[in-house]
Amino acid sequence: MNIINIAQTRYSTKKFDPARSLSADQLADIKALLRLSPSSVNSQPWHFVISTNPTGKARIAKAAGGQYVANESKINDASCVVVFCVKTDLTDDYLEALLDQEQQDGRIDSEEMKGKVRKVRGFYADLHRVQWLDTQCWMEKQVYLNMGAFLLGVGALGLDAVPIEGVDTKVLDTEFDLTAKGFKALAVVAIGYQADNDFNAKLPKSRWPESSLFCEV
């Protein structure tokens, strides 16, 4: 696998083949990509609603009505749909639970190290919670970092995908009771296999040239 080739060939799928489904192994890989994403100070401020069945996808597609109706078929026809959600608060209790998980996983091997990690993570968390007052924006950046890695990852798995911000996230919050769980929806990613008549699959990729992007010093 050549990662540059994946970056060159992946694209935003506009039409999915509704007849194709994912295997259990493919779904497991998708979940692994979501779990293993990097985040600032390993904060992982995310949650995911995932569906591979018509009923669940129809629930997600409720958010693609009205002005967003062009995205309804992408959600219903995809093999798998993921709702990317973000935490609505970054509490000390959450950060402590995160430390406990890291200790359980063997990343922290002593109480001394746990104290050091607590101090460093607390410093960066408080830059946003106390000094800059942009905690929500910062957490959303982590979710979008996950989404970017995810799109490249599913391409490497041989799957097609499209990120969809054109949904009513408040509908998703209500449908899946996200607010009560301490989360809110940000965007949707639909994953599957392109349909034969997906016009976007045949268009060349267009990006700014290197000459306008890079300043080598």
Contacts of 189 (CB under 8 A, 6+ apart): 81, 82, 84, 147, 150, 151, 161, 162, 163, 164
State yes or no: is 74 an active-site residue: yes
Distance CA 57, CA 74 (A): 10
Look at residue 140 and tell me whether its pLDDT is greater than 90.
yes
Q: Choosing from 31, 116, 165, 181, which is the catalytic residue?
A: 165
Q: Choosing from 15, 57, 74, 184, which is the catalytic residue?
A: 74
Partners of 71 in the β-ladder: none
Distance CA 81, CA 27 (A): 11
The pLDDT score that the predictor gives to residue 1 is 77
Q: Which of 88, 26, 70 is nearest to 200 (CA)?
A: 70
pTM: 0.97
Q: How do residues 20-60 score in pLDDT, each as one tens digit?
A: 999 999 999 999 999 999 999 999 999 999 999 999 999 99
User: Is 166 exposed, middle or buried, given 0-12, 13-18 or 19+ CB atoms closer than 10 A?
Assistant: middle
Q: Choosing from 14, 15, 57, 87, which is the catalytic residue?
A: 14
Long-range pairs, 1-5, Cβ under 8 A, ≥24: 1/156, 3/152, 3/156
The pLDDT score that the predictor gives to residue 65 is 96
Q: How do residues 6-30 score in pLDDT, each as one tens digit?
A: 999 999 999 999 999 999 999 999 9
Q: Is the torsion defined by CA of 68, 73, 76, 80 positive or negative?
A: negative
Q: How do residues 155-200 score in pLDDT, each as one tens digit?
A: 999 999 999 999 999 999 999 999 999 999 999 999 999 999 999 9
Q: How do residues 64-91 score in pLDDT, each as one tens digit?
A: 999 999 999 999 999 999 999 999 999 9
Distance CA 162, CA 75 (A): 10
